[in-house]
Structure 1
Amino acid sequence: MFKKKNSFFALGLSGLVTLGIIFFQPNINFDYDFESFFPQDDGELSFYQEFRSEFGNDNDYLLIALGHRPDVFDSGFLEKASLLKKTIKGMERVEKVISLLDLEEPMISPFGIRSQPLLEWDEQVNLTRSKNRILESNQWKKNLINETGNYILLLVHNQQMISKEEGDILYRNIFGAVENSGFTDFYIAGKIQAQGEFVNLMQDEFSSFLGISGVLIVLLLFLIFRTLWGILIPLIALMIGFFWSIAIPLYLGKPLDIMSVMQPTILSVIGLAAIIHFFNQYLNYLRHGYTKEDAIEKSFLEILPAVFLTSLTTALGFASLYFTSVPTLKFFGLYTGLGVLVMFLSVILIIPGLLYIVPAFKQKNEEKNAENWRIGMRKAFSFVLLNKKTIPLIFLLITISCLFGVSRLKVNGYILDNLPVGHELVEGFDFFDKNFGGSKPLEFSLQVGEEAENIFQMEVLKEMEKFERFISDNFETGAIISPLSLVKKMNQAQNSGNEKAYAFPSQGQLIRLKPYLKEALELSPVKIVSDDLKWSRISTRVEDYGSEKGKRLKDKMEAFLESEVNQAYLVVRMTGTSHLIDISHESVTDQMLRGLVFAFFLVALITGLLFRSWRVSIIILVPNIIPLIWMGGMMWAFGIDLKLTTAILFTVAFGIAVDDSIHFMSKLRLELNKGRTWLYALKRTFIDTGKAITLTTIILVSGFSVLIFSQFGVTFYSGLLISFSLVFALVADLLLLPLLLLFIGKRLGKV
């Protein structure tokens, strides 16, 4: 299979495939879609899609705060802000802009509804009167103006479900308009801004990690082999393999996303780990006097099954994420798993042919290094045998302690928790959280109960008032837009705009204002009631306080609705994009267990069939489940919360960490097939494989450690947690696995 003729044919075929990709390049594009984090199998998503078709998307807006000292009630500032508002309002794909600058308050007279401006600045007396009216009203503070009055809000509603490309263009135009208007004190936050910033960061980090991975690989290869061909051959194979791996999803129309940032490092270090196993065996044969041709053929034939099995289990570890319900995780797992297999193909198709072309090479100080490794591994094996009671006890105590930590892990996530504290984008959203009632949309569906005729029935409004008071007190919301807020505004309009009349109407007041409701609904800046008056919404904004607090508030709300709200008149249901993201974080345990159980089953099945022993399946699982428990304990100790982007790391870490155990077991089987006794075969396996799995772990940890320099939370935690889990797995494979095998050998009567 790996003879010279076959290897040259494989090398030529690889070259043709690479040239084909170069000449027919796929379209490279990046994307970040918030909705790709929604669980697709949850009924809440279907309900929100129906809700959205009736009332529109809840997060297609951009918040712009313009500041002025000591306050915004300056005619020059307001005139400049008004011109900016008109400019933005006239832009393509802007549906409306809401602000105090041209907001009009309704007045009901015998002649119908008329309106008067809320804010007038043509004369100082009008400006002073407007200032007093606005700052003394709870309707506008932390809504369209902050409490201290030195920032005014422009709420820009952009086109519904705007595409990423169109959103980028619109945001650039809006940002340019703000800068060109001469404002120096301003904040901006919103979906079209966040998606653009995320994609820019992804592009920068993807390029950075691609370059860093290349430098790291060259450095590691130099440290290990200290020879030109020992660097160039692996580098060529890895570059081509990565090129193939990235091309596949792009050809299939899958853009690169936030998870793709990790792929250069993941695929490179996994591919390099496989190469080390082949090269280690190749150099071993050369050292024992074999010709270059025999060394290539024998080393690749001998190591191929183990490397294929480890690549397969790693790929399956990633691919198991496909069985989660979150699109971003599904496709990351699928294409990264496929990429691992493609990297394996590139190694076995390219490296043998290149080794036949170049002269046989040796590591610097090879004999001395090999002897040092053998001495070190012998001492380590003796240490394991001398402490065969102490080692399991220590593992047991650490594992029990970590299980305690795992049981106390919090499930908590934020919309922008992939970005570091202090990032410009995070600071913008924090500003609106503190000054304008929040940046995160919060939506509730309101439907009339079986005993109600329409949403404006007095009994329905009374139940709505109880619920609004509850969410205002507990969710700490900004301004609330709802049928009740509309009714209160109309009641105020009936009383000549008196601020005290912005209150729940009496039965008589409600009857008098009903003839004007249709016109008022048509004038509303957002749709709040369905045409049949049986379905409506409460729309507001809140601070992004995390999914853990959101879950507590939701449970409290459900209890309140059950005990305090008469559902015969009003049926309330939380919905919206923020709610769906919180659900994704809440389902993290289920998502994690689903992936892990699938990975455990496949690894146990494959290894059991290959080694024809259920005992081997269990033995391989035990030292690889323990590092996952330790990783969970470390998360608790360092205060790292469970969320979608950290929970998936358990599955990924297992898929990679299990490789060392498989290499160990494969070598043990080879030694036993040579007729060696169980204990001697175990010793030979420990000495020979110990070096390889230690080197590959160093390589993998070095590679994954690079990810801690990422600005993305998901990438940072991937680097940190997977690196530690790989170290834990190496410790388990070198200390615990031999003792488990020794125990099995005694049970079988072979020791």
Structure 2
Amino acid sequence: MFQKSTAYTFLALAVLLSLLLLIFRPTPQFNYDFETFFPQNDKDLDFYESFKSQFENDNDYLLIALSNPDGELLESRFLAKSYAIQSKIQELEKVDTVISILSLKQPVIGIFGLTNRAVLDWSDENSLAKTNANLEQYRPQLVSKDGNSLLLWIKNEQNISKEDGNILYGAIKDLFAEFALEPRATAGKIQMQGDFIKLMQHEFGMFFGFSILLILILLVLIFRSWWGVVIPLVVLIIGVAWAFGLLLYLGKPMDVMSVMQPTIFMIVGLSALIHFFTHLIKKLKAGVKKEEAISAVYSELLMPVWLTVLTTSLGFISLYFTTIPALQDFGWTTGLGVLVIFLAVIFISPGLLFLIPITNDFSGDQVEKPGLLHSSFSWQLKHRKWILLKFLGITILCIFLGSKVEINGYLLDNLPVDHPIQKDFEYFDEQFGGSNPLEVFLEVGSGANSLLDLEVLQEMEKIDAKIHELFGEGKTISPLTLIKSINQAQNQGDPKAFALPSAGQRQRMNRWLDKALESSQLKVLAQDRKSGRISARAPDLGSLKMTELRTELTDFVEKEIDPDLLTVRWTGTAYLIDKGHKSVTTQMAKGLGVAFLLVGVIVGFLFRSWRISFLLLIPNLIPLLWMLGLMYLLGIEFKLTIAILFTVAFGIAVDDSIHFMSRLKHELNQGKNLIYALKRTYLEAGKAILLTTVVLTAGFGLLIFSQFGVTHFTGLLISASMIFALMADMLLLPLLLLPLKKIWEQKFNNS
């Protein structure tokens, strides 16, 4: 298959494919949608979709805090400028409503009917001083706790697209630049999407460049020949271009998970090339002619290298069987890209090796020195029991430590701690009661007619008070808010009357309800008045703490709220994301289960033995358990983006085991006994395994410098797992194979 003519044909096809890709190159698209982390096929997600159609998205808003850089917040010129900005924002396309203390009107019901008066009037100093007292009622919802900033709550068009969101956010920033006023803090979906994409584009380009530089350094150190550097570098760059070209043609935009893909593709491709090139160099040193050596190496190693690449690809593809779209997309795209890289290796490298003159002039340092590996193998045979006990002890300890790792995730996990978005969200958490949406669905019970019945409102007030107790000082918005506002209006706008009315007061406000519902900017009640919502903002306390608080509220409702009057249910985007983090063990089990099954089938096919399939899983399960122990020691918590790393690590780590076993099978097929075959395998395959581990560790270690949390932890934990896998493959696997001596020899003697 790998004769010169065939290799040249493959190379010509590769050149043609590359030219076509260059001529008809796709346009890179970047996207970030945190809703792709919602668990699919989930009854709570289905319920939220119904909730959205009845009310609205709970996260289609932008929060902007404004402070006066020249003095007090309640200064007339600053308030006038802020109101002018708000008015301009309200006129922008895709803006639904802008709510702030600047435009808020307080309804007042008097003998002449309903009138509205400004909550804050800065037309003159007397009016400003008079209305200043009204602000306390809106703290910290629209005015900060410290009184130094006010909030513009911009509700944009529902389900706004990424492109329209970027345009709108850009227009809002332009308005602030026009008025020479810098917001104190900003938080919202359209801001996060835009800023995330900018960071993604920066990191994607940076890591692609650093990956090329790292590959160049590793190639120089490993092969120390110009062709050993140039050929792999050309193959890998073209392979990565093919991979991303295919993904873009398939309509897959790049997202936060794509940042690590260039490094993964290059490192997996380089590992394959190392296996081919180290065996090629060995044959050239043995005096084999160049053409014969190339043909022999690629023919002998095609199947073992293909199996290692396939297991890596399947390790990623197994993520498709989770229920999180972001993980599914990352899994199948990375798995497909790994296969494309392998095609680039096979289509390009043999042809270039035939085409380019290769000298047999290698430095003495590159001559294989089996002395260290030989001593290591002898030492292992003498200390078998000690090594097995050490592995067993460390593994049990890591299982114990791993059981203490908590499941916890934050909305902004992927951003660095000092990123401006983090600082802005912290400001809203501290000064405005939170930035994350908190949603509770309300439904009238069988014993009441409407959520506005006084008995139902009394139950609702108990829940409202409990929410304040659990989640902080942020204000809630609900049908109860509407009733309290009307009660306040019936009492001449007195802030003290913003309370649940008496039975008589509640009866008198019926005539005003329809008008109040029509003029309300808040969608808190369904048209039939039988369902509604409690909406609030809460700090990002993490999924662990939020789950505890939600459970506490649920328990409170079961004990204290009459279900014949009112039933409640958690919903909202923050709830779904926290639920996704909570399902981390299920997602990890699904991914690993599929990966174990696929690898077991491949190994079973290769060796025709279920015992060997089972045995091979042991040294590849150990790195995963040791990763758990490392996570505890480093204080790393479980979350969705961490859970996937176990599947990825398994898919990559098993490569060396398959390479080791393939070489062992080759030695046994030559009639050698198991001990001698193990020794030859240890010495022959050992160097390639060591080199690929160095390459993988260095490549993934590069990701540690990423600003994205998911990319950073991928680099840290996968690098560590590669070292653990090397130890298991080189120290443990040979010892596990020795008890099967009779079975091995009988199997291969018979064959």
Shorter-chain TM-score: which interval?
Answer: over 0.9
Partner of 1:616: 612
Query: Match for residue 62 of structure 1?
Result: 62
What is the CA distance between 1:254 and its match in structure 2?
1.1
Residue pairs, 1:130-169, within 5 angstroms = 130-135=131-136, 137=137, 140-169=138-167
Paired residue for 1:77? Answer: 78
Q: Does 1:302 align with 2:300?
A: yes
Partner residue of 1:120?
A: 121
Corresponding position of 2:287? 289
Higher mean C-alpha displacement, 517-526 vs 268-277: 517-526
Cα distance in structure 1, aligned partners of 2:225 and 2:301: 22
Aligned-partner Cα distance in 1 for 2:461–2:493: 21
Q: Secondary structure at the match of 1:57?
A: coil
1:446 aligned counterpart, secondary structure: strand
Alignment CA distance shift 1:24-1:266 (3 Å): same
Q: 1:731 aligns with which of 697, 720, 727?
A: 727
- Report the counterpart of residue 658 of structure 1 in structure 2: 654
How big is the shift at 1:471? 0.8
- Structure 2 CA distance for partners of 1:459 and 1:50, relative to 1, 3 Å: same
Question: How many angstroms apart in 2 are the aligned matches of 1:465 and 1:362?
Answer: 85
- Is 1:516 aligned to residue 517 of structure 2? no
Task: Name the residue aligned to 2:395.
Answer: 399
CA displacement 1:260-280 (0-9 Å, x = unmatched)? 100000000000000000001
CA contact (8 A) 1:2 1:300 kept: yes
What CA deviation, in whole Å up to 9, does each residue of 1:208-231 have, x standing for no partner? Answer: 111111111111101111111111
Q: Is the 8 A contact 1:433 1:543 kept in 2?
A: yes
Report deviation, 1:92. 1.2
User: One-letter code of the match for 2:617?
Assistant: L
Provide the rounded CA distance (Å) in 2 between the counterparts of 1:148 and 1:71.
12
2:472: which partner in 1?
Answer: 476
Give the match's secondary structure for 2:600: helix
Deviations along 1:339-397, one digit per CA (max 9) or x if unpaired, are: 1111111111111111001122346325x53343x111101101211210100111111
State whether residues 58 and 443 of structure 1, in contact with CA within 8 Å, keep that contact through their aligned partners in structure 2.
yes
CA contact (8 A) 1:105 1:118 kept: yes
Partner secondary structure for residue 563 of structure 2: coil
Shift of 1:297: 0.7
CA contact (8 A) 2:619 2:733 kept: yes
Q: 1:688 to 1:76 in 2, by over 3 A?
A: same
Residue type matched to 2:189 in 1?
K
Alpha-carbon distance in structure 2 between the residues aligned to 1:113 and 1:571: 33
Q: Which amino acid aligns with 1:83?
A: A
Give the TM-score normalised by structure 1. Answer: 0.98
8 Å contact kept, 1:315–1:338: yes
Structure 1 residues 227 and 624, CA gap change in structure 2 (3 angstroms): same
Scaled by the length of structure 2, the TM-score of the pair is 0.98
- Residue 113 of structure 1 aligns to a residue in which SS? strand
Deviations 1:575-594 (A, max 9, x none): 11111111110111100000
Q: Tell me, in whole angstroms, the C-alpha distance in 1 between the residues paired with 2:184 and 2:664.
A: 67
Aligned to 1:229: 227
**Equivalent position SS for 1:538:** strand
SS in 1 for 2:437: strand
Show the counterpart of 1:370.
367
Corresponding residue number in structure 1 for 2:481: 485
SS of equivalent to 1:153 = strand
**Residues 60 and 155 in structure 2, CA contact (< 8 A), matched pair in contact too:** yes
Post-superposition shift, 1:324? Answer: 0.7
Structure 1 residue 585 and structure 2 residue 581: aligned?
Answer: yes
The whole-number CA distance in structure 2 between the counterparts of 1:582 and 1:362 is: 59
CA-to-aligned-CA distance 1:200-248 (integer Å, 9 cap, x gap) = 0111111111111111111110111111111111111111111111112
Query: Hey, what does 2:277 align to over in structure 1?
Result: 279
515-524 or 192-201, which deviates more: 515-524
1:353-364 → structure 2 map (5 Å cutoff): 353-362=351-360, 364=362
Provide the residue aligned with 1:36 in structure 2.
Answer: 36
Give the Cα separation in 2 of the matches to 1:576 and 1:345: 44
Does 2:105 align with 1:104? yes
* Residue in structure 2 matching 1:430, options 419, 426, 432: 426
Q: What CA distance in whole angstroms lies between the structure 2 residues aligned with 1:636 and 1:660?
A: 27
The 5-angstrom pairing of residues 303-342 of structure 1 reads 303-342=301-340
Query: Of 238, 250, 253, which residue of structure 2 is paired with 1:252?
Result: 250
**8 Å Cα contact 1:280-1:692 kept in structure 2:** yes
- Number of residue equivalences: 746
1:677 touches 1:750 (CA, 8 Å); kept in 2? no
User: C-alpha distance in 1, partners of 2:362/2:406?
Assistant: 50
RMSD across aligned positions (CA): 1.3
Give the distance between the partners of 2:359 and 2:474, measured in 1 at CA. Answer: 70
Match of 2:204 in 1: 206
Counterpart-to-counterpart distance in 2, 1:4 and 1:547: 59
What whole-Å deviation, never above 9, does each CA across 1:497-545 have from its counterpart, x for those lacking one?
Answer: 1122111111111101121111111111121111111111111100011
Q: Does 1:457 align with 2:458?
A: no
Structure 2 residue 350 is matched with structure 1 residue 352: yes
What SS does the aligned partner of 2:713 have?
A: helix
Q: Which runs of 5+ in 1 are unaligned?
A: none
Deviation (angstroms), 1:746: 5.5
The 1:698–1:96 alpha-carbon spacing in structure 2 relative to 1, beyond 3 Å, is same
Q: State the AA in 1 paired with 2:722.
A: L
Shift of 1:19: 1.4
State the percentage of identical aligned residues.
50
Structure 2 letter corresponding to 1:572: V
| Secondary structure of residue in 2 paired with 1:389 | helix
Cα pair 1:477 1:541 within 8 Å, conserved: no
Letter in 2 for 1:85: Q
Q: Cα distance, 1:27 vs. partner?
A: 2.7
Distance 1:280 1:164 in 2: 48
Q: CA deviation at 1:111?
A: 3.6
Residue 568 of structure 1, CA deviation: 1.2
Q: Which runs of 5+ in 2 are unaligned?
A: none
Q: Which amino acid aligns with 2:366?
A: N
Query: What are the residue-to-residue correspondences of 1:525-544 with 2, within 5 Å?
Result: 525-544=521-540
Instruction: Tell me what 1:129 maps to.
Output: 130
1:562 pairs with one of 552, 558, 570: 558
**Following the alignment from structure 1 to structure 2, what is the Cα–Cα distance between the partners of residues 194 and 729?**
38
1:683 to 679, 682, 686: 679
CA distance in 1, matches of 2:146, 2:167: 33
User: Are residue 500 (structure 1) and residue 502 (structure 2) matched?
Assistant: no
Deviations 1:622-671 (A, max 9, x none): 00100000001100111101001101000000000000000000000000
Amino acid at match of 1:238: L
